[in-house]
């Protein structure tokens, strides 16, 4: 019996045939949909939470400039 090349791995060992079942495809599609949904729910939740609890005075441009000047002063020493 002559075997096809795809039935052996690069080291010459026989590879068992792959069982392509429909149940595996359904589970894979369901898992992909569930994972994508969870990701986007988290993204929307984080964006909404940041918008709800954002304090404009805390992250001001003047504060960033002062921090950068202090950092330059420390490095220059």
Q: Which of 17, 34, 53 is nearest to 6 (CA)?
A: 17
With tokens 């019996």, the residue in question is 1
Gap between the Cα atoms of 51 and 55, Å rounded:
9
| Residue 40 pLDDT | 97
| Residue 4 pLDDT | 53
Assess whether pLDDT exceeds 90 at residue 76: no
Gap between the Cα atoms of 47 and 42, Å rounded:
9
Assess whether pLDDT exceeds 80 at residue 45: yes
21-35 pLDDT tens trace: 665 677 788 899 999
Domain ranges of the chain: 22-76
| Residue 36 pLDDT | 96
Q: End-to-end distance of the chain based on CA atoms, in angstroms?
A: 80
Assess whether pLDDT exceeds 60 at residue 63: yes
> pTM of whole model > 0.75?
no
């Amino acid at each position: 019996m002559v075997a096809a090349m795809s039935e052996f791995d690069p080291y010459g060992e026989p590879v068992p045939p792959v069982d392509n079942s429909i149940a595996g495809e359904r589970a894979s599609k369901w898992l992909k949909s569930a994972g994508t949904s969870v990701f986007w729910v988290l993204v929307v939740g984080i964006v909404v939470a940041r918008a709800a609890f954002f304090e404009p005075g805390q992250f001001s441009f003047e504060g960033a400039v002062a921090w950068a000047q202090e950092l330059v002063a420390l490095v220059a020493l």
